[in-house]
Structure 1
Amino acid sequence: MDVEAPEDTSEHIHDTELARIVRVNEEIKGIVATAFKINLMALNAIFLAKRAGHAARGFGVLSNELRRFAQDLTREMTQLREMTANTVSTVTGVVQQKRLNGILDEAVKRCPEPVSGEARVQQRGHEQLADKQGCLSALDKRLRRSLDDTAQLVELGGVLARSAKIEAAYGGNFSASLMQVSSDFGDVICLIQESLERLRHLRLT
């Protein structure tokens, strides 16, 4: 007796889950690239503050803090990327187990007489599926918590950028240049916040 599983449904689920994970990883990669950009911007701001001298001392301090922020953000996003690196195999395992369970359930349904041990095999298959789904759900929860921590860090970056803009007004002849740099900081941090918001809507489960 040949029993075929509804492959179309399973493949669709698989493709949807994988597409979601790809989008998660792409957003994370984008934030890592932006954090690197902030690091370069902070180095430029530190250089400008030194050229401006004593008048831009406060701006220089804030620029150093923004550089640390960029480094902390890069570490956070690296952890997020590592967290999602193995999700492809986890999702594949869930889909394959669903498919196997479907084949077994259909075979049992079509079999005219009970087969010894079939209930035990079915139970084991459903338990294995529950375990795999549990792993994926736990990973999603870890991702949510990590995103919350990262969002708080980015809020701090926004405060630093706004403070740098205030300090830029005291930069003397370099005030306009410092103001532009601090505005650029704010714009880039807004982009990061938008990426984080998109990540919040991309669940792994």
Structure 2
Amino acid sequence: MADIAAELQNTVLINENIKMVIWNCFEINLMGLNAILLAKRAGRMARGFGVISGELRELSLQLQGSMNRLSNASQDMLAESSHSMTQERRSQMLAQTSELSAENTTYLAETLGRNRKAADEHSERLRIVHQRLSEYIDEAYQACVFGVVIARAARIESAYSGEHSNVLAELSNDFARKVDSIVPRLEELRRISGKMR
């Protein structure tokens, strides 16, 4: 029962981290749109910055997709954990009842057997959900590492953007900070999901 309670607690932590990453992705997307508009205003000199900003927007959408899949897996995990907790309570009640009642031992033994089988099936489904969770976290982490590289490229491009280079440099630094702030969240998700296996 303690394992299931820990699982539920970890699911809450996962959802909190997912919300923060999704919020950062939303901000990156808006910043990317703003950067594209600024790059268009700056003209030919900032064309590269506009392309990189578009890439950062794509990255934010990709990360949001990963986080949505991760959120769905987390909800599946929550449902399976809750069901496992219910099954475990039923099994405990049946075991206590079978100790008190010698008349229905055959029926209770069959029911306990069915409950154990259902618990094993839920454990297998939970294992699969954990596996999906790890895959989605790895997918998001790889996208985020790519985002760090793109944010650095934006810094370089901003230097070649003519008279708008200061504004674009500031924006590229904001990109870098936002993308960098996602990495610890994903590392925390990895740590939490690693405890759940």
CA distance in structure 1 between the partners assigned to 2:125 and 2:93 by the alignment: 23
Amino acid at match of 1:49: A
Verify the 8 A CA contact 1:151 1:193 in the aligned structure 2: yes
| Paired residues, number | 195
Give the alignment of 1:5-84 within 5 angstroms.
Answer: 10=1, 15-84=5-74
CA distance in structure 2 between the partners assigned to 1:114 and 1:85 by the alignment: 38
Name stretches of at least 5 consecutive residues in structure 2 with no aligned partner: none
The CA deviation at 1:93 is 1.1
Give the alignment of 1:160-171 within 5 angstroms.
Answer: 160-171=150-161
Please give the root-mean-square deviation of Cα atoms over the aligned residues, in Å. 2.1
Higher Rg of the two aligned structures: 1
Question: Which residue of structure 1 lines up, in the alignment, with residue 85 of structure 2?
Answer: 95
Amino acid at match of 2:82: T
Higher helix share: 2
TM-score under structure 2 normalisation?
A: 0.88
The CA deviation at 1:184 is 0.8
Amino acid at match of 1:73: L
The CA deviation at 1:123 is 2.2
Deviation per CA, 1:143-192, whole angstroms, max 9, x where unpaired? Answer: 10111111111111111111111111111211111111111111101111
Verify the 8 A CA contact 2:158 2:166 in the aligned structure 1: yes
Give the alignment of 1:86-125 within 5 angstroms.
Answer: 86-109=76-99, 115-125=105-115
CA distance in structure 1 between the partners assigned to 2:106 and 2:54 by the alignment: 71
Verify the 8 A CA contact 1:46 1:60 in the aligned structure 2: yes
CA distance in structure 2 between the partners assigned to 1:86 and 1:152 by the alignment: 23
